[in-house]
Structures are given as structure tokens and as C-alpha cells.
Structure 1
Amino acid sequence: MKLLKLSVVITLLLITPLISSAQELKFGHIDMQELIMHMPEKQEADRRLQQEAQTLQNRMRVMSEEHERKFREYLAERENMPELIRATMEKEIQEIEQRLQNFQSMAQQTLSRKEQELYQPILEKLQRAIDAVGEENGFIYIFDVSSQVVLFHSDDSVDCAPLVKAKLGIN
């Protein structure tokens, strides 16, 4: 019996720090997408990306107009063309179409790289602010609720957005 009481006391002594430390755990949540929308760097990145897209779109329009002009010329004159000229024009039209497809593919890749280049520093800045808030306030985890990975958070979870906004200097 004494051995049983002693084991209960020892167990309680071992579990008590675990229970009290579990009660001290702090969890927070944040909506990263909403925070990014408030960052001034985001608007500038959007503007620069739009400029790049417009430049590529203008070049694509010029190439499309060239294709359309060549094709109309071909359609208007194909009945009266010698076979060699018709074949040459058909080949030119096909080459223009191929260039258009290649340009479109390269333009998409270029925009993708530009987007990565512009937004990566923004994400890194936000992550540094979140890390600082987490460390300064003793959070164990800060979850991103915009990713829809967090299936539940209680009212005990702290919304860290105001703290991160303050760290970033935004309203």
C-alpha cells in the first residue's frame, strides 16, 4: 500500500510540470493573404508586374497583326499565285504561327519568373515579421488560416495580425 501511495505521489510530481506547461502553450493564427494585401510593397509589385504583362501583350499584338496581314494577303491572292510562291507564303505563315506560340509560351514563363522575383521579398519580409512576433510573444505556433489547412481554432488562439501589422508598420 505504501508503495502504491509512493508511486502515485511520484507520478503526480512528474505530471504536474507537464500539465502546467501545457496550459502555458500559446497558439496564434493569422490570415497571410489579407496581410499581404495591406502591404505597400504588394501594390508596387502588382503595378510592375502589370507593366511587364502590358509590354509583352503589346509585342504579341504586333506579331498577331503581322500574322493576320500575311494570312489575308495569302487568302486574297492564293488562287492566282504560282505554286512556288503559294508554298513559300504558307511556310511563312506557319513560321509566324510557330513564333507566336513560342513567344506566348516564353511570355508566360517570363511573367511567372517576374512574379516570383517581385513577390518573394514581400513574403520573406512578412515571414520575418511573423517570426519576430512569435518569438517576442512566446507563441508555440502561428497558423495561417488563409491556407485552409487549420481545421479548427478556438477563441484561445490569438489573432496575431495586429501584432504583425505593427511590426511591418502598416494599418
Structure 2
Amino acid sequence: MLRKCTLALALAVFTVFISSTGFAQTKIAYINMQQLITGMPEAKKAFDTLQVYQQELAKDGQELVTEFQAKVSKFQEAEPTLKPDIRETKLKELEMMKANIEQYNARMEQRMAEREQQLTAPIIAKAKKAVSDLAAEKGFACVLDNSKDIVITATCEDLLPAAKQKLGIK
């Protein structure tokens, strides 16, 4: 009988312990990661690098556009005197040039996206590590990113000032 009571008492204590830890308050914080990242000096340098790269790509694309516009003007001047077969051939040539420009633009956008990813990935990783370390230091179980339109309650702590300080951002 004593053994059953001891077992029942131990089971009751264990149940109370488990339920009380389930109701322990979890600390949650929030941060605007977009604002943090854009404030980092590395991000500003990456943005400047991207702008230069985009200008270089646009310059090459502009050469294609200029050549296309010159051929269109030349075609429009000569069109009334062209025979139907030659006119059709010239139109197909212009259509191919236009398609080449569109393909170039698509490749340019893809290259820009790849370059942006290449430049920003280490910056984002550094910011995430700083926030993660800060959350661990301050005992937060979860950090929400409020730049993603997440609703934040009044009981959350904003980690942006501390993260900026940790990264040396003014």
C-alpha cells in the first residue's frame, strides 16, 4: 500500500512539474532585419557595387537598342520602295533583333539577381548570426522579423538597437 501511495505521489509531482514547465513564460523579441541589414556598411558597399554592375550591363544593352533603332529608321525610310520579299526579310531581321534585346534583358536580370545574391548572402548571414547570438545572450526563445508584416505584441522586446550596437552600426 505504501508503495502504491509513493508511486501515486511521485506521479502527481511529475505531472505538476511537467505542466508548470509547459506554462513557463517564453521570452520573445522582434527586430526589423531589413532595417538592420540596410544600415550595415557592408550592405551599402554591396549596393554601390550592384549599381556599377547594373550600369555596365545597361551600357551593353543600350548598344543593342541603339543599333536596333538605327535599323528601324533605315527600314522606315526605305520601306515604300522595297519589294514585298525584301520587306518581309527586313521585318524578320528586325523582329530577331528585338528578340535578341529581350533575351539580353532577361539574362541581364538573371545576372543581376545572381550578383545580388552573391553580394548579400554573407551580409545577411552576419546579421542573422548577430541577432541569434544576441537572442541567446538575452535568453529569447524566439525572435520575430517585423519587416515581414508580422504582428508584434507589446510584451516583445525590440532587438534592433542592441543588434546595431553589436554590429557597430550608428
Q: TM-score range by the shorter chain?
A: 0.7 to 0.9
Query: What is the alpha-carbon distance in structure 2 between the residues aligned to residue 96 and residue 73 of structure 1?
Result: 14
Which position in structure 2 is the counterpart of 1:153? 153
1:65-112 deviation line (CA, Å, top 9, x unaligned):
111110111111122234554344223212211111110111111111
Which position in structure 2 is the counterpart of 1:56? 57
Which position in structure 1 is the counterpart of 2:106? 105
Larger mean Cα displacement after TM superposition, 36-45 or 83-92: 83-92
Question: 2:62 is aligned with what amino acid?
Answer: R
TM-score, normalised via structure 1 length: 0.82
Question: 1:25 is aligned with what amino acid?
Answer: T
> For structure 2, which runs of at least 5 residues remain unmatched after alignment?
1-7
> Cα distance 1:91–1:20, how it changes in 2: closer, same or farther (>3 A)?
closer
Task: Percent identity, please.
Answer: 25
Query: What is the alpha-carbon distance in structure 1 between the residues aligned to residue 92 and residue 30 of structure 2?
Result: 60
Number of residue equivalences: 166
The equivalences for 1:1-171 within 5 A come to 11=12, 14-15=15-16, 19=20, 22-23=23-24, 25-149=26-150, 151-155=151-155, 157-171=156-170
Query: What is the alpha-carbon distance in structure 1 between the residues aligned to residue 16 and residue 160 of structure 2?
Result: 34
Query: What is the alpha-carbon distance in structure 1 between the residues aligned to residue 21 and residue 108 of structure 2?
Result: 58
Query: What is the alpha-carbon distance in structure 2 between the residues aligned to residue 91 and residue 22 of structure 1?
Result: 73
TM-score, normalised via structure 2 length: 0.82
1:13-63 deviation line (CA, Å, top 9, x unaligned):
753675478555322111111111210111111111111111121122111
Query: What is the alpha-carbon distance in structure 2 between the residues aligned to residue 105 and residue 117 of structure 1?
Result: 18
- The question of whether the paired residues in 1 share the 8 Å contact of 2:30 and 2:152 is answered with no
SS at match of 1:28: strand
SS at match of 2:114: helix
> For structure 1, which runs of at least 5 residues remain unmatched after alignment?
1-6
Which position in structure 2 is the counterpart of 1:4? none
Give the RMSD, CA atoms, in angstroms: 2.7
